[in-house]
């Protein structure tokens, strides 16, 4: 298997996952191909295949579009640098979003969220995090492990327990796969959590660099193999569906925390035009 096929395979099978990691691995594969063959046919083929591997998240698409436009090694280097560092860059800006003593709920595993919280901890902020397990692939365990390894107090709960804990939650913080005119695309289950938050006057923040701002006309919400949820022969007569992202409409979003600051929905909608 060549470098391109290996990268595509890792993304499709979710050995590599999360919007930013997918973009990092994709751009690294493109870099190798460009170093060998330049910006010709192989480069274009690689761009197409990588984008299609998991089509919902926009970061890799945006990175590829920028590199295609500039067609220089410098643009690849700049993109590598941006993607590697954007999480910490966002974390370093003191946004006063988290207050001492807060309990934060997060869902799935977002590197941008984990780095944001770890940086807050380094700044001596005291807070707890409730982490949902995130069925069917349990990405919440990665978040819980990474945060608790950084000595952040973590409570790990099943997805459906979020309502039970609502009285303890001061804010919710999620990652983003695509920030769009319709709202924010993130791991399935984010939308209902945001609705519960609004009903209980809990602010809902999303963390993500502007590379996740999505001006594509349409978005394809990925549906994965139902076998990730349950063995087909256990429910022979049922349709089983496994959509992996949902869209949280803007009315449920307090702000997006990015390298451009804490952006309110109206500001984002202007930037997306
Ligand atoms: C991951 C997910 C993450 C975003 C942002 O879904 O929804 O919240 O991708 O992640 P999956 P990051 O596990 O299906 O890829 O902040 O790491 O870019």
What pLDDT score was predicted for residue 94? Answer: 63
With b meaning 16 or more CB within 10 Å and e meaning fewer, what string describes 122-158?
A: eeebebbbbbbbbbbbebbebbbebbeeeebebebbe
Tell me if the pTM is above 0.95.
yes
Does 108 participate in catalysis according to the annotation?
Answer: yes
- Strands lying side by side in the sheet with 261-263: 154-157, 127-132, 102-106, 171-175, 204-207, 255-258, 261-263
Cα separation, 51 vs 121, in Å, equals 35
Q: Are residues 95 and 151 in the same domain?
A: yes
Q: Which residue range forms the structural domain that includes residue 118? A: 90-271
What pLDDT score was predicted for residue 27? Answer: 98
Number of domains the chain is built from? 2
What pLDDT score was predicted for residue 86? Answer: 96
Q: Are residues 55 and 126 in the same domain?
A: no
Q: Nearest 5°: phi and psi at 223?
A: -115, 125
Block residue for tokens 């298997």: 1
Walk along the chain (273 residues) and give the pLDDT tens digit of each residue: 888 999 999 999 999 999 999 999 999 999 999 999 999 999 999 999 999 999 999 999 999 999 999 999 999 999 999 999 999 999 887 678 999 999 999 999 999 999 999 999 999 999 999 999 999 999 999 999 999 999 999 999 999 999 999 999 999 999 999 999 999 999 999 999 999 999 999 999 999 999 999 999 999 999 999 999 999 899 999 999 999 999 999 999 999 999 999 999 999 999 999
Q: For 53-104, how does the pLDDT look when each residue is reduced to its tens digit (9 = 90+)?
A: 999 999 999 999 999 999 999 999 999 999 999 999 998 876 789 999 999 9
In terms of residues, how long is the chain? 273
What pLDDT score was predicted for residue 96? Answer: 86
Cα separation, 200 vs 221, in Å, equals 28
Q: Are residues 235 and 116 in the same domain?
A: yes
Residue that terminates a domain, selected from 86, 102, 132: 86
Q: Report CA 220 to chain centroid distance, whole Å.
A: 15
First to last CA, the chain: 41
Q: Which residues approach ligand 1 with their CB closer than 6 A? A: 17-21, 57, 108, 110-112, 139, 175-177, 186-187, 244
CATH number at residue 180: 3.40.50.10470
> What is the CA(114)–ligand 1 centre distance, in A?
11
Q: Are residues 50 and 134 in the same domain?
A: no
> What is the CA(17)–ligand 1 centre distance, in A?
7
> What is the CA(178)–ligand 1 centre distance, in A?
10
Does 159 participate in catalysis according to the annotation?
Answer: no
Q: For 209-220, how does the pLDDT look when each residue is reduced to its tens digit (9 = 90+)?
A: 999 999 999 999
């Amino acid at each position: 298997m060549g470098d391109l096929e290996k990268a595509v395979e890792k993304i499709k099978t979710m050995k590599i996952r999360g919007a930013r990691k997918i973009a990092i691995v994709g751009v690294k594969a493109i870099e190798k191909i460009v170093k060998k063959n330049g910006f010709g046919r192989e480069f274009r083929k690689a761009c197409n295949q990588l984008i299609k591997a998991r089509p919902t998240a926009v970061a890799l698409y945006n990175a590829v579009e920028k590199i295609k436009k500039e067609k220089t090694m410098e643009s690849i280097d700049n993109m590598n640098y941006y993607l590697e560092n954007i999480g910490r860059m966002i974390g370093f800006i003191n946004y006063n979003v988290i207050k001492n003593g807060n309990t934060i709920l997060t869902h799935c595993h977002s590197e941008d969220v984990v780095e944001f919280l770890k940086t807050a901890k380094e700044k001596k902020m005291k807070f707890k995090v409730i982490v949902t397990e995130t069925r069917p692939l349990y990405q919440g365990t990665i978040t819980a492990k990474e945060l608790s390894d950084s000595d952040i107090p973590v409570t790990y709960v099943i997805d459906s327990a979020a309502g039970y804990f609502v009285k303890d939650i001061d804010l919710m913080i999620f990652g983003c796969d695509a920030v769009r005119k319709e709202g924010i695309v993130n791991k399935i289950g984010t939308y209902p959590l945001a609705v519960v938050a609004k009903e209980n006057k809990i602010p809902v923040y999303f963390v993500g660099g502007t590379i996740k701002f999505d001006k594509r006309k349409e978005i394809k919400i990925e549906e994965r193999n139902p076998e990730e949820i349950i063995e087909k022969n256990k429910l022979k007569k049922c349709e089983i569906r496994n959509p992996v992202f949902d869209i949280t409409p803007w009315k449920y979003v307090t702000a997006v925390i990015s390298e451009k600051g804490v952006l309110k929905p109206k500001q984002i909608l202007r930037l997306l035009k």
